[in-house]
Structure 1
Amino acid sequence: MDLPREFTIRESSHRIHNPFTGEQLAALGQALHLTPGTRVLDLASGSGEMLCTWAHAHRIVGTGVDISTEFTARARARAAGLGVTDQVAFVHGDASGHVADEPVDLAACIGATWIGDGVAGTIDLLRRSLRPGGLLLIGEPYWRQEPPDRQTVEACHAGTKEDFRLLPELIERFGELGYDLVEMVLADQNSWDRYRAAQWLNIRRWLDRNPDDELAPELRADLSRDPARYARYEREYLGWGVFALMER
């Protein structure tokens, strides 16, 4: 049970595996008015940057669950580096079936709603770990503008246009599911650039070190194609944000 190797190669230098900067992640923590002792569950926690930095800045406590052995190891190292190993723990496992042993104050899935087969299923999964009146955090893509054709849709990693919604429609969807949107922090084109461009440098450096690896032809083709495709499509049409929800 692990992530495909090409994913960890692409994001080998990333602490945040989404188009979010450290400043945006910090702004989110401040906006939520986190208090010491807040109990957090982070499903698909990646390299643990949210839990570790919030533990350091706000003294939260919590658990992260992720399918990647490499990212889980990085998360544990990050916790040690920030001196918060007594506050946060990271579990290698399948987040799609994980429910906390005891209710938490904040349950999050940032950029991985595939673990619940979409927004509705992921919200339902997180709700099972949440105390009454707690906060849910969902990180999710949305259309910045209506995609004009199927080529644009596919270049933005969607199967159909209906896989994502325009931002007002996504917010309305939260309401249809019985939740109030109480805070949000959105990625911008700069944070998208930092996320995606770092992948290209990671790939190029890996290719230079591993020219004969079985993945080299695939990643070489990706590096030749992806920057222009990103600039033409993804950068213009795809948004992303973290949304804080409370059940009505």
Structure 2
Amino acid sequence: MDLPRHHTIRESSHRILDPFTDAQLATLGRALHLTPGTTLLDLACGKGELLCTWARDHGTVGTGVDLSTVFVAAARERAASLGVEVTFVQGDASGYVAESAVDIASCVGATWIGGGVVGTLDLLGRSLRPGGIALVGEPFWRTDPPEAALAIGDFVTLPALVEQTRDAGWDLVEMVLADEASWDRYVAAQWLNVRRFLDENPDDELAPALRHELSTAPLEYVTHQRPYLGWGVFALVRRP
């Protein structure tokens, strides 16, 4: 089992596979007061930038799990380039539980693995030590969107998202939110990745679909996504 190729094509130049900048990821690490030896599990870890840079900057240790062979290979290369000891596992993160309880368990930008935020918190909680921190990255509506924007996804507002986690038995203890500029860096960079792939592979079987995507995605983004859709990483601790 592996991710479809169009995902890896869009993300080919990215190290962070979400609308987060290097600075925002670093801010999150500092906000969590990470210390050497802090243990992490990152489900749907992508290219492992969270684990790798936090290991470099804070001395954390941990394991990442992702379905994509391409992303896991890139994560291992990143760890080697930074000289950090981080383990990456290629496989389905939706049922993965750490062998030993960890200090922080995260799923940043892929809560579909648990059927949504609450289900993903339940999954992360199975790997957490008592008092450990769960990190979830999730989109939310910044303001009520027009009807045409609702096709982007079944999201809720930020207050509704916070209420949802509270009612599921978790305390929100930190958060770092993306902004329009970080959304641009994530989404617009995908367009260049797609265009370069098309230029280099005009006869690929995915070319017609990607050509259509490149012709429609930028206008859709600036019209319906950029003005209305937020995203953030939320740190939560389960209530006793």
* TM-score normalised by length of structure 1: 0.95
Out of 170, 174, 185, the residue aligned to residue 183 of structure 1 is: 174
**Who is 2:140 aligned against?**
142
**Who is 2:188 aligned against?**
197
The amino acid that maps onto 2:157 is L
Partner secondary structure for residue 236 of structure 1: coil
The amino acid that maps onto 2:64 is G
User: 1:197 & 1:164 partners in 2: Cα distance?
Assistant: 21
User: 1:94 & 1:188 partners in 2: Cα distance?
Assistant: 30
Partner secondary structure for residue 46 of structure 1: coil
User: 1:13 & 1:184 partners in 2: Cα distance?
Assistant: 26
| Residue 243 (structure 1) aligned with residue 234 (structure 2) | yes
| Residue 231 (structure 1) aligned with residue 222 (structure 2) | yes
**Who is 1:218 aligned against?**
209
Out of 89, 92, 109, the residue aligned to residue 91 of structure 1 is: 89
Partner secondary structure for residue 64 of structure 1: strand
User: 2:174 & 2:111 partners in 1: Cα distance?
Assistant: 18
**Who is 1:61 aligned against?**
61
CA RMSD for the aligned pairs?
Answer: 0.6
The amino acid that maps onto 1:25 is L
Partner secondary structure for residue 208 of structure 2: helix
Partner secondary structure for residue 71 of structure 1: helix
- TM-fit CA distance, 1:122: 0.5
Per-residue CA deviations over 1:89-143 (Å, capped at 9, x if unaligned) read: 0000100010000000000000000000111110000000000000000000100
Matched length? 239
**Who is 1:165 aligned against?**
156
Per-residue CA deviations over 1:202-236 (Å, capped at 9, x if unaligned) read: 00000000001110010001001111110001001
**Alignment of structure 1 residues 63-82 onto 2, 5 Å:** 63-82=63-82
- TM-fit CA distance, 1:165: 1.0
- TM-fit CA distance, 1:246: 0.6
User: 1:6 & 1:247 partners in 2: Cα distance?
Assistant: 36
User: 2:210 & 2:8 partners in 1: Cα distance?
Assistant: 12
The amino acid that maps onto 2:128 is L
* TM-score normalised by length of structure 2: 0.99
Runs of 5+ in structure 1 lacking a partner? none
- TM-fit CA distance, 1:237: 1.0
**Who is 1:123 aligned against?**
121
| Residue 39 (structure 1) aligned with residue 39 (structure 2) | yes
User: 2:149 & 2:93 partners in 1: Cα distance?
Assistant: 31
User: 2:70 & 2:146 partners in 1: Cα distance?
Assistant: 38
Partner secondary structure for residue 226 of structure 2: helix
**Who is 1:152 aligned against?**
149
Partner secondary structure for residue 229 of structure 1: helix
**Who is 2:6 aligned against?**
6
- TM-fit CA distance, 1:60: 0.1
Q: Percent identity?
A: 67
User: 2:207 & 2:146 partners in 1: Cα distance?
Assistant: 33
User: 1:214 & 1:66 partners in 2: Cα distance?
Assistant: 25
User: 1:123 & 1:2 partners in 2: Cα distance?
Assistant: 24
Runs of 5+ in structure 2 lacking a partner? none
User: 1:164 & 1:80 partners in 2: Cα distance?
Assistant: 37
The amino acid that maps onto 1:67 is L
